[in-house]
Amino acid sequence: MKVHHYSERGLVNAWVQAMASKDDDSLLLAFLDKAFLTSLGTRLSGPLLNLGRPLEIDLYVEPSLSEFGNPDVVIFIRGTKGGRVAIYVEAKLCPFFLSSPKICDENEGIYTTNASRVLHELYMKASLHQELQTKKDTKGLAAKVYIGDSVPRKLGTDPQVIELANRLIECEPYFLALTTDPSRDDQDEWLMGNDISECLKKMESLNHPPVRTGKGIDWTKPMTFGPAVLVGVRERWHDAVVQLSWFDVWRTAKENQLVELVDAIAENHNKFEFPSLPASTEMENDLKKLWDMHGLCYGKERKSDRRTLYPVQGPRRAFATFKVVQGFYGPALEFYFPHRGRDKAPDATAIISWKELGSSLVTGSRCLALNRILTEFFGK
């Protein structure tokens, strides 16, 4: 029997099952060690969590927190030294700031939106945890989360929700974004700083004085969680935000021979949206040769990092848009085929490795995957 884990929810389930596949805590820590770093970049391995060993660990998959949303996973860790940690996990198969406005000039950069689907979810959980630790009680708990909220969000009275919330009151919180942003092992800097926390601090600095319209995050909201178990004293909520890369999950799964998780990631490879990769001059020249070989040409330059391909002959309609990305198997091209659209989703997108495309240049023959879609395109 083989279990197939489909798309985002299936991948998260495969990841959780992998972490829980050994009775000890070794696999959980193997993944978390990739997320928790000190400001100097030193990894905080298991013995340094200041929790003591052995650890008591509970994993809640997609639990309800009522109007504060459903985190993908909540990880509870309690050590023999008495420390308790709760890690709220929000997973997306895309980069952290995919849906955010670009960081612009400091005098102009004001964020009136949630800026990121991941950030939106993590901020709601941070707001809830602040209320829980302030009130020390779940009865009648309600709080406004965003600027402009007309009514407060409520925790409700569901017994399971209340039981989970009562456990959270006792814990030091962390907010983990599981995204396709590059691993820290792959680059010296991540986006604008060395981690998500630095990016959020930058966003906060761009929001003073705060914008008091719309549904944006109130960056002046005083959310602090006291001394942190893992990284010392925290000043604001974003100091508790950490990032884990799907690239690290992929590597850790392969290193530990977690076959089901490796297979799940490979099977869902086309579901991921990867960060853009600047194309070298050599790659640009090879792309031009590749498109000539397939009877395709570039459209006009777009403002985004995606480019449009049109057939040299035949109907003047877009065959595909594409961008160069860093995939799990190295550089690749991420395609979107408009003629497939919603009718054939998720097959409207495809990721073809640079290695596969490059072999066409060596052999002088068309790429089989692209040629099949070209045949379909002209046959419509």
Domain boundaries defined on the chain: 7-270, 276-379
**Residue whose pair of structure tokens reads 């040629």 in the numeric block:** 371
Mean pLDDT of all residues in 44-69: 75
pLDDT given at position 218: 64
Higher pLDDT, 334 or 227: 334
CA distance 90 to 70: 9
pLDDT given at position 17: 95
Instruction: Return the exposure string of 98-133: e unless at least 16 CB atoms fall within 10 Å of the residue's CB, then b.
Output: bbbeeeeeeeeeebbbbbbbbbbbbbbbbbbbbbbb
pLDDT band at 196 (very low <50, low <70, confident <90, very high): low
Pairing of strands 73-79, 55-61: antiparallel
Mean pLDDT of all residues in 180-186: 69
Out of 69-78, 93-102, 130-139, 315-324, the most confident range is 69-78
pLDDT given at position 114: 47
- Asked if pLDDT for residue 151 goes beyond 90, the answer is no
pLDDT band at 25 (very low <50, low <70, confident <90, very high): confident
Numbers of helices and strands, H then E, in the chain: 10, 14
Higher pLDDT, 205 or 167: 167
pLDDT given at position 222: 60
| CA-based nearest residue to 19, from 67, 57, 72 | 57
CA distance 300 to 365: 27
CA distance 125 to 145: 10
